[in-house]
Amino acid sequence: MIPFFLRRVGAGLVLIVIVTAITFFLTYGANIPVARNILGPTASAEQVDILNGQLGLNRPILEQYFAWIGGVLQGDLGTSYYTSEPVVQALASRLPVTLSVVLLSAAITLIISTWLGVVGAARGGVVDAVLQAFSTITFVFPAIILAIAMVYVFAISLKLVPAVGYTPFGESPERWFASVILPAIILSIGGIAALAAQIRGSLVDELSKDYVRTLRSRGVSETSILLKHALRNASGPGFTTFSLQFISLFGASLFIEKIFALPGYGTYGFQATIQFDLPAMLGVTLFGVGLVVVMNLVIDIASGWLNPKVRMS
């Protein structure tokens, strides 16, 4: 288990380094007139030069990169050009918002897909048809349209949940739930159909295997065969699909935050991008990849733990 774990951590670190390096060299290397943007068109060329010097943007790009890396290793992601707030602090304050939506959505996806997959494998027929229809709808209507439709129905017409804004959990758990449940459901829609189909397919494969017949020959109940034996063996491919889905789910959450005006990474990153706030943009990228890596590590460990061959190695 430990070598397996270390390999996954190593792969995650490689991913973080590559993605942030690409982002760094593309954004810092693009010669975006940052100082001119901050100071406005009336500033003189000298003022622009001075600010560039203060921000360190006139140094060779490699030097800037290693300075950034050095900062990262000390837990310093720089300071926003516009708000003067340290990027780490800004991201930390937004972490609960994004995590609330993303983790809730991941849980919804996992639970509902597993349930649909199990029922589909055991019963077939109707559930298959529903899944097929569901997956077609999620392809046909882009998430934006679905999101608006759901906001219109649940927030504006029925007034079940607020249309925008976020309430911290500590302030009021019920209002927190009301503020994140709709975004989480919208985020889940895209993944559920695909994951359920995957789980259903793996379960059907497992149920046709020899060991299932042998368990049946010993009088083991169908419920135990389906939920204990087949589901556990089908969980490997299911988790692989789920970890890929989590990546797109997290990406999409940045956009959903914008629609619901939730003060998470998405809104922060959006603002940073519009303003060319380089440290903030890079910080969002780093935290984003980091979260994906951590989540995938958790999923890997869970699926490795369920698989004795991995666990015992």
Integer distance in angstroms from the first to the last C-alpha of the chain? Answer: 6
Q: At 70, which amino acid appears?
A: G
- Does the protein bind another protein through residue 143 (CB under 8 A)? yes
Tell me how far, at minimum, the Cβ of 49 lies from another protein, in Å.
21
108 binding another protein? (CB under 8 A):
no
Between 181 and 252, whose beta carbon lies closer to another protein? 252
Of 71 and 237, CB closest to another protein: 237
Q: What ranges in the chain are assigned the alpha helix state H?
A: 2-28, 34-39, 45-55, 61-73, 87-123, 126-140, 143-150, 173-207, 210-217, 222-224, 231-259, 265-275, 278-306, 308-312
Q: Going residue by residue from 251 to 280, which x/- string records binding to another protein, judged by CB under 8 A?
A: xx-xx--xx---------xx-xxx-x----
In terms of CB distance, is 11 or 177 closer to another protein?
11
* Contact flag: residue 78 with another protein (CB under 8 A): no
Kindly state whether residue 123 participates in binding another protein, applying the rule CB under 8 A.
no
Q: Where in 203-242 is the site for another protein (CB under 8 A)?
A: 208-211, 213-221, 224, 229, 232-233, 241
How many other C-beta atoms lie within 10 A of the C-beta of residue 111? 12
8 Å CB contact between 132 and 215: no
Site residue total, another protein (CB under 8 A): 77
Q: How far is the CB of 252 from another protein (least distance, A)?
A: 4
DSSP calls for 2-25: HHHHHHHHHHHHHHHHHHHHHHHH
Q: Identify residue 295 by its one-letter amino acid code.
A: M
Q: Which is nearer to another protein, 61 or 172 (CB)?
A: 61
* CA 303 – CA 297 distance, rounded (Å): 10
Please say which residue, 175 or 258, places its beta carbon nearer to another protein.
Answer: 258
Instruction: Kindly tell me which of 175 and 229 has the beta carbon lying closer to another protein.
Output: 229
Give the nearest distance from C-beta 174 to another protein in angstroms. 27
Q: Based on CB atoms, which residue is closest to another protein, 23 or 114?
A: 23
Choice from 288, 299, 300, 303 touching another protein (CB under 8 A):
288
Residues 151-210 that bind another protein (CB under 8 A): 152, 156, 190-191, 194, 197-198, 208-210
> Residue with structure tokens 């792969």?
11
For the chain, state the CA radius of gyration.
24
| DSSP conformation letters of 26-51 | HHHTTT--HHHHHH-TTS-HHHHHHH
